[in-house]
């Protein structure tokens, strides 16, 4: 049976607690994702992943518009030819 305080072993060793250090976000984030705070009139560096994503989005928008226009023309022909 365990009874507190009676026949207990050696006292637990207290380890020193680590000191908390505050760091800037720029130290934590990788360099490729970090943007300079103020570039003034200079354009930010080109990110190829963002360019690819923007191009893909543009292709999707244009393809959607083409499908809508083709559907409108097909419906117009369908109703006029009847």
| Residue 69 belongs to a domain | yes
| Within-domain flag for 63 | yes
Give, in order, the Cα–Cα distances in Å from 76 to each of 4, 63, 64, 70, 82. Answer: 89, 20, 18, 10, 10
Provide the residue range defining the domain that includes 34. Answer: 26-81
What would the pLDDT profile of 11-26 be if each residue is shown by its tens digit? Answer: 778 888 889 888 887 7
Planar angle of CA 74, 58, 48, nearest 5 degrees: 155
**Pair 54, 62: CB distance under 8 Å:** no
- The answer to the question of residue 49 being in a domain is yes
| pLDDT over 70 at 35, yes or no | no
Q: Residue 8 falls within a domain, yes or no? A: no
Tell whether the model's pLDDT for residue 32 goes beyond 60. no
Lowest-confidence region among 13-17, 24-28, 40-44, 50-54: 24-28
Q: Is residue 12 part of a domain?
A: no
Give CA–CA dist 57/5, Å, rounded. Answer: 69
* Number of domains observed in the structure of the chain: 1
């Amino acid at each position: 049976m365990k009874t507190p305080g009676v026949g207990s072993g050696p006292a637990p060793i207290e380890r020193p607690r680590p000191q908390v250090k505050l760091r800037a976000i720029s130290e934590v984030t990788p360099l490729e994702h970090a943007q300079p705070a103020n570039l003034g009139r200079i354009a930010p560096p080109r990110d190829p992943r963002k360019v690819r994503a923007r191009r893909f989005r543009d292709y999707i928008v244009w393809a959607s518009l083409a499908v809508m226009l083709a559907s409108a023309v097909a419906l117009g022909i369908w109703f006029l030819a009847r």
